[in-house]
Amino acid sequence: MHNEVALISTVAVSFVAAAIFGFIADRLRLPPLVGYLVAGIAMGPFTPGFIADTNLAGQLAEMGVILLMFGVGLHFSTSELLAVRRIAVPGAIVQILLATLAGVALCSFWGWGLGAGIVFGLSLSVASTVVLLKALEERNLVNSANGRVAVGWLIVEDLAMVLALVLLPTLADSLGTSGAAAAHGSGSIAMTIGLTLLKVAVFAFIAIYIGPRIVPWLLTLIARTGSRELFTLSVLAIALGIAYGSAELFGVSFALGAFFAGVIMSESNLSHRAAADSLPLQNAFSVLFFISVGMLFDPSVLVREPVAVAATLFLIIVGKSIIASAIVLILRYPIAMSLTVAAGLAQVGEFSFILAGLGVSLGLLPKEGQDLILAGAILSITLNAFVFSGAEWGHKLVGRLWPAFSERHGKQKHETLSRELAKIRAAGEERDRKHEQKLKQLIDTFPLFSQMDRNSRDELFLLFRPKTATPGEKVIRVGDRGDGMYFVVAGSVEVRLEDAAVQLEPGAFFGEMALLSGGRRTADVVAIDFCQFLVLDRRDFNLFASRYPGLRTAVTAMARERSEMNVSRHNGD
C-alpha cells in the first residue's frame, strides 16, 4: 500500500469489504456485523491478501464509537440518567468486581500472577458500547426502560474504566512487574485516585451546568446563518471537539465525552436536526469499529489454545450473564430486565482492547492474554445476537415454569421506574409540542409564512427577536434609519402618516419599507395597546429576503401597495 494514501485506501477497502461481507452475512441470515468482522479479519495482518493499516483503522473505529455515543447522548437526558442510577450504579460496580474476581481465578488456574488476573478480569468485565447499542436498536429497545437501564449501566462501566486506566500504571508497581512499570509507579495511589475523581467531577460539573448554557446557544447562532452545511459541521465540531477536549483535559474517554456532548445538545430544540444530520456518519463509522476489531484478531489462537478461548468465552457470555441477571433480580427488578441487561452486556469490545494493550505494555498481562481477550471479543460479538434470542427464549421458559414469579417479581419497581421515565419523556415531548404550537401560532397569525416547509419555519423562528411595547410607546420614528421589521403578534399599533392614521392588528407587519429602500422611516408607528412583536433585525431581514424569495416578493408587494396608497392619499385622490 502506498503510504501517502493509507487513509483513503483503509477507508475505501473497509467500506467495500464491509458492504460485500455485510450483504453476504444478511443472505446467510446472520447479523450484518458478523460480515463486518469477517471483512476485518480478511484485511488484517494475520490473513493473506490486502493488509490495511491497523493503527489507522483503530482510530477510525474510535470515530465510530464517538459518533455513536454522541447519538445515544442526543436521545438521553440528564434526568433519565439519574432515574436509572439506583440500579445502574450498584449493578455495574458489583458486576465489575465479580467478573474481575472470576478473571483472577481463571488466570491463577493458568498459573498467571495477580496483576495479569486483574487486567484480564477487568477487560472481560466491561462491555462494548457499539455492540450493545446496535443490539438494542435492532430490537427497538433503546427507548424502553430495560434499554435505558442497560445503557446507564454501560455508562457507569465506562466511568469505572476511566479510573481503571489511570490506576493500572500506579498499581503495576505494587503488583510486581517488569521495569516498564517503575516509571509509572511514582505517586501514591490515593493521590492518583483523588486527582482522577477530581478531574471527572470537574468534567461532570461543566457537562451538567455549563454545557447546557453554551451549546444550545451556539447551535442557535449557527442555525440562524441558515447554512445547512455549517449546521451539520458545527454539530460534528461540537461532538468531536468535546470528545477530544474532555479526553485531553480531564482524562475521560472519547466515548464518554461524546456521550455528554450529546446529552448537552439534547436540551436544545435543534437536537432532532442534529440527530438526523449526524446519523449517516454514525452508521458509516460504526461499521469501521467492527472492521478494526476483526483486523486485530489472530485466528490461529483458536487452534493454539482452544480450551483457553472457550473458557474466556464462557466467562464473558455465561459468567457475566449470570452475574448481571442475579444482581438485577436481587435488586428486585423484573426478569425481563435482568435478561435484557445480561444479554446486552454479554460481550466485550473497545475498552477491553485498550485495557489489555495497556496491561501488556506495563508487563502485567502476557501477550497470550491479549490474544485470548481479542478472541473472546470477536466471538462474543458474533454470538451476541444468539445470546439475545436465548434470553428471549429463557424469558418464555421462566414464564411457563414459574408463571407467578415471572409475573410478580420486580413488578412494582419496574412500574415505578417506567412511570418515572415516562414522565421525563412526557416533559421532553411537552417541550417539543410547545415549540410546535408556537410555530403553528405563527403560521396561523401570519398567513405569509404558510407556504414554508418545516425546516425553513424552524430557521425563521430562530431569526425572530421578541419585543414588547406599552400603550403610547413610539415603536418607529419617522426619519430614523430602518433597524428592523416588526410582526404584530398581539395588540395593535397605529401608523401615523402625515394626514392619516392606519391601524394594524395582529398578523400584520410594518417597518419593511425603510429596509427595502435602504432609506428612512416613512411614518411614526405607535403602540395603542400592550403589544407583542417579533422583530427581524436588518441583517436577518436581508438573510431572510435572500433565502425566501417568495416571502420577499410578498413583502415588497405590500410595501408598494402602501406607498402608492400614501402617495394617492397625499395627492388628495
- Residues at the interface with ligand CMP (CB under 6 A): 476, 482, 495, 497, 502, 510-514, 521-523, 525, 562, 565-566
Q: How near is the Cβ of 570 to ligand CMP at its closest, in Å?
A: 10
Query: Which triple of cell numbers denotes residue 288?
Result: 469501521
Task: For ligand CMP, give the closer residue by CB, 176 or 447.
Answer: 447
The answer to whether 288 touches 60, Cβ cutoff 8 Å, is yes
Strand ranges inside 420-554, DSSP E:
465-469, 474-476, 484-490, 493-496, 501-504, 509-510, 524-527, 531-537
Task: For ligand CMP, give the closer residue by CB, 161 or 513.
Answer: 513
Task: For ligand CMP, give the closer residue by CB, 136 or 514.
Answer: 514
Spatial separation of the C-alpha atoms in residues 60 and 14, rounded to whole Å = 10
Task: For ligand CMP, give the closer residue by CB, 433 or 539.
Answer: 539
Task: For ligand CMP, give the closer residue by CB, 112 or 510.
Answer: 510
Q: How near is the Cβ of 240 to ligand CMP at its closest, in Å?
A: 44
CA 342 remoteness from chain centre: 23
The DSSP 8-state label assigned to residue 30 in this structure reads S
Q: Which of 232, 243, 263 is nearest to 64 (CA)?
A: 243
- Residues in contact with 326: Cβ distance below 8 Å, sequence separation at least 6, in sequence order: 338
Task: For ligand CMP, give the closer residue by CB, 180 or 497.
Answer: 497
Q: How near is the Cβ of 283 to ligand CMP at its closest, in Å?
A: 49
Task: For ligand CMP, give the closer residue by CB, 312 or 522.
Answer: 522
Q: How near is the Cβ of 523 to ligand CMP at its closest, in Å?
A: 4
Task: For ligand CMP, give the closer residue by CB, 377 or 495.
Answer: 495
Q: How near is the Cβ of 487 to ligand CMP at its closest, in Å?
A: 11
Q: Which of 352, 317, 303 is nearest to 161 (CA)?
A: 352
Q: How near is the Cβ of 501 to ligand CMP at its closest, in Å?
A: 9
Q: How near is the Cβ of 470 to ligand CMP at its closest, in Å?
A: 19
- Residues in contact with 520: Cβ distance below 8 Å, sequence separation at least 6, in sequence order: 478, 479, 480, 481, 482, 514
Neighbours of 280 (CB within 10 A): 11
Alpha helices (H) in 305-410, listed in sequence order: 306-314, 320-330, 335-344, 350-361, 367-401, 403-408
Q: How near is the Cβ of 497 to ligand CMP at its closest, in Å?
A: 6
Q: How near is the Cβ of 472 to ligand CMP at its closest, in Å?
A: 17
Going by their DSSP bridges, the two strands 531-537 and 484-490 should be labelled as antiparallel
Task: For ligand CMP, give the closer residue by CB, 154 or 495.
Answer: 495
Q: How near is the Cβ of 535 to ligand CMP at its closest, in Å?
A: 12
Task: For ligand CMP, give the closer residue by CB, 254 or 487.
Answer: 487
The answer to whether 36 touches 13, Cβ cutoff 8 Å, is no
Task: For ligand CMP, give the closer residue by CB, 331 or 565.
Answer: 565
Query: Which triple of cell numbers denotes residue 274?
Result: 442534529
Spatial separation of the C-alpha atoms in residues 157 and 161, rounded to whole Å = 6
Q: How near is the Cβ of 488 to ligand CMP at its closest, in Å?
A: 11
Q: How near is the Cβ of 508 to ligand CMP at its closest, in Å?
A: 8
Spatial separation of the C-alpha atoms in residues 208 and 213, rounded to whole Å = 9
- Contacts of range 504-511, beta carbons closer than 8 Å, 24 or more positions apart: 506/445, 507/445, 507/446, 507/447, 509/446, 509/448, 509/485, 509/555, 509/558, 510/476, 510/485, 510/486, 511/476, 511/482, 511/484, 511/485, 511/486
Q: Which of 179, 199, 84, 62 is nearest to 130 (CA)?
A: 62
Task: For ligand CMP, give the closer residue by CB, 460 or 515.
Answer: 515
Alpha helices (H) in 225-349, listed in sequence order: 228-250, 254-265, 271-296, 300-304, 306-314, 320-330, 335-344
Q: How near is the Cβ of 68 to ligand CMP at its closest, in Å?
A: 51
- Residues in contact with 265: Cβ distance below 8 Å, sequence separation at least 6, in sequence order: 73, 74, 215, 216, 219, 235, 238, 239, 271, 274
Angle between helices 335-344 and 320-330 (to 10 degrees): 150
State the chain's maximal CA–CA distance in angstroms. 108
Task: For ligand CMP, give the closer residue by CB, 21 or 510.
Answer: 510
Q: How near is the Cβ of 485 to ligand CMP at its closest, in Å?
A: 8
Q: How near is the Cβ of 288 to ligand CMP at its closest, in Å?
A: 55
Q: Which of 469, 485, 541, 531 is nearest to 505 (CA)?
A: 531
Task: For ligand CMP, give the closer residue by CB, 24 or 497.
Answer: 497
Task: For ligand CMP, give the closer residue by CB, 179 or 572.
Answer: 572
Going by their DSSP bridges, the two strands 524-527 and 484-490 should be labelled as unpaired
Neighbours of 138 (CB within 10 A): 14
Number of H helices, E strands in the chain: 25, 8
